[in-house]
Homo-oligomer: A and B are copies of this chain.
Amino acid sequence: MSLQNDLILRAARGEQIERYPVWLMRQAGRILPEYRAVRSKLSGFKELVETPERAAEVTIQPVDLLDVDAAIIFSDILVVPEAMGLSYEMVEKKGPWFEKTIHDESGLKWAESDFDVEDRLSYVLEAIKLTNRELNGRVPLIGFAGAPWTIFCYMVEGKGSKTFSEARKMLYANPSLAHELLKRITKVTIQYLKAQIRAGAHLVQVFDSWAGILGTEQYAEFGLRYLKEISEAIQEVPITLFSKGAITSLPALSKLDCQTIGLDWNMHMDEARKLVGEGRTLQGNLDPCVLYGSHELVANETKRMLDSFTSSRHIVNLGHGVYPDIDPDKVRTFIKTVKEYEITS
């Protein structure tokens, strides 16, 4: 099926674009009353993730309601550790929680990597197929997975944390176990991303949400090493790597075989461009809190960011997922401002 809007794919590949493409992390979610209506009829977040028809429905909502240039499949990065043997619960207002966690070699029995990924994660693949059928080529569909380091954090720590000291402890106390676990996650993640692409994902993004808690050298050893494997394995579609907070690793990250690098809001686009160079597309990075301001402020701050671009290799997004209590009309102002902005270069 041919795409009517392939702007994000061209931007990712560094091809000519007539304007910047724009989408939002967490665009399918609690900011939309229409999402909350679907969600309220289900038992919880996980039922939504695991029901392809409903997942497809909320994936498409922001395309209809916000006019974004891409859909991203509604799912969670934690479906991977669950498929490997560690199931999670999503605790309201607290976040994910794993009953079992991995602390020594005996825990590897909960980290399978030799199973049929397409079978165990069929509900995600089914949601991708349904979404594309419904979208009918209007915009590309983004698939995604968590980076091995971030998934490792949850499999060892068992929940969110400011420091992930349990996870980081293993890097010093038992680095060979850490590498074994990271290898297994990497293997499953590559298979999972390839399955998403076969199911119809036009672009994939890898989220390394906890990249920023490691020093530069440790992130090279336990983070980038596995992102390298993944990005080299994925040649079918463009891949975006988002290593949140890993400012000092940006130069190394930009040497990986990827098309796009995601940025959080802590760094100015022109600073990032200097570190990354012209060979990669940058994605981001408006501070999501800007959307708490007036419409005028949203438009002005968005324009200020766009003015700071020194190349046309950009995909516009926030620097983080949109916060759930943001007024969708502020999101519309953000999107409209990007769409009306003329690229001069």
Q: Taking CB as reference atom, which chain B residue is nearest A171?
A: B289
| A190 proximity list for chain B (CB < 8 A) | none
Chain B residues positioned under 8 Å from A96 (CB to CB)? none
Mark each residue of chain A from 260 to 295: 1 if its CB lies under 8 Å from any CB of chain B, else 0.
Answer: 000001111001000000000000000111101100
Q: Given contacts A162-B162, A287-B168, A288-B165, is CB(A215)–CB(B293) below 8 Å? A: no
Known contacts A247-B247, A248-B267: A163-B216 contact under CB 8 Å: no
Query: Is A137 engaged at the interface, CB distance under 8 Å to the other chain?
Result: no
Residue from the set A168, A217, A266, A287 with the largest chain B CB neighbour count within 10 Å = A266
A36 to B288, CA, bound (A): 42
Q: Mark A287-305, 1 if CB is under 8 A from B, else 0.
A: 1111011000100010000
Q: A172-B290, A292-B172, A297-B172 are in contact. Are A268 and B165 (CB under 8 A)?
A: no
Structural contact, A292 and B215, CB atoms closer than 8 A: no
- Report B-chain residues with C-beta under 8 Å of the C-beta of A216: 266-268, 271
Q: How far is the CA of A213 from the CA of B173 in the complex (A)?
A: 30
Task: Tally A residues with Cβ within 8 Å of B.
Answer: 34
Q: Mark each residue of chain A from 138 to 176: 1 if its CB lies under 8 Å from any CB of chain B, else 0.
A: 000000000000000000000010110100110111000
Interface centre among A169, A218, A267, A301 (most CB of B within 10 A): A169
* Contacting pair B268 A217 (CB below 8 A): yes
- Complex contact A267–B297 (CB within 8 A): no
Collect the chain B residues with CB atoms within 8 Å of residue A162's CB: 160, 162
Taken together as a complex, chains A and B put the C-alpha atoms of A175 and B238 apart, in Å, by 40
Known contacts A172-B289, A172-B297, A289-B172: does B165 contact A266 (CB below 8 Å)? no
Residues A289 and B168 in contact, CB atoms below 8 Å apart: yes
A214 at the interface (CB under 8 A from B): yes
Are B172 and A323 neighbours in the complex by a CB distance under 8 Å? no
Is A212 located at the chain interface by the 8 A CB criterion?
yes
Bound form: Cα–Cα A265–B165 in Å? 13
Partner of A172, one of B163, B168, B293: B293
* 8 A Cβ contacts from A228-249 to B: 245, 247-248
A169 to B215, CA, bound (A): 29
Q: Are B212 and A169 in contact (CB under 8 A)?
A: no
Of all chain B residues, the one with the shortest Cβ separation from A162 is B162
- Contact assessment for B247 and A268 in the assembled complex, using a CB-CB cutoff below 8 Å: no
Asked if A314 lies at the interface with its beta carbon under 8 angstroms from chain B, I say no
A317 to chain B, nearest CB (A): 15
A215→B173 contact, CB < 8 A: no
7 residue pairs, one from A and one from B, having the closest CB atoms: A172-B293, A169-B292, A168-B289, A173-B292, A247-B247, A165-B323, A172-B292
Between-chain CB contacts (< 8 Å), 18 pairs: A160-B162, A163-B323, A168-B289, A169-B289, A169-B292, A172-B287, A172-B293, A173-B292, A214-B266, A215-B265, A216-B271, A217-B268, A218-B287, A247-B247, A247-B248, A248-B266, A248-B267, A248-B268
Known: A169-B292, A172-B287, A216-B266. 4 other contacts (CB 8 A): A162-B162, A165-B288, A172-B293, A212-B266
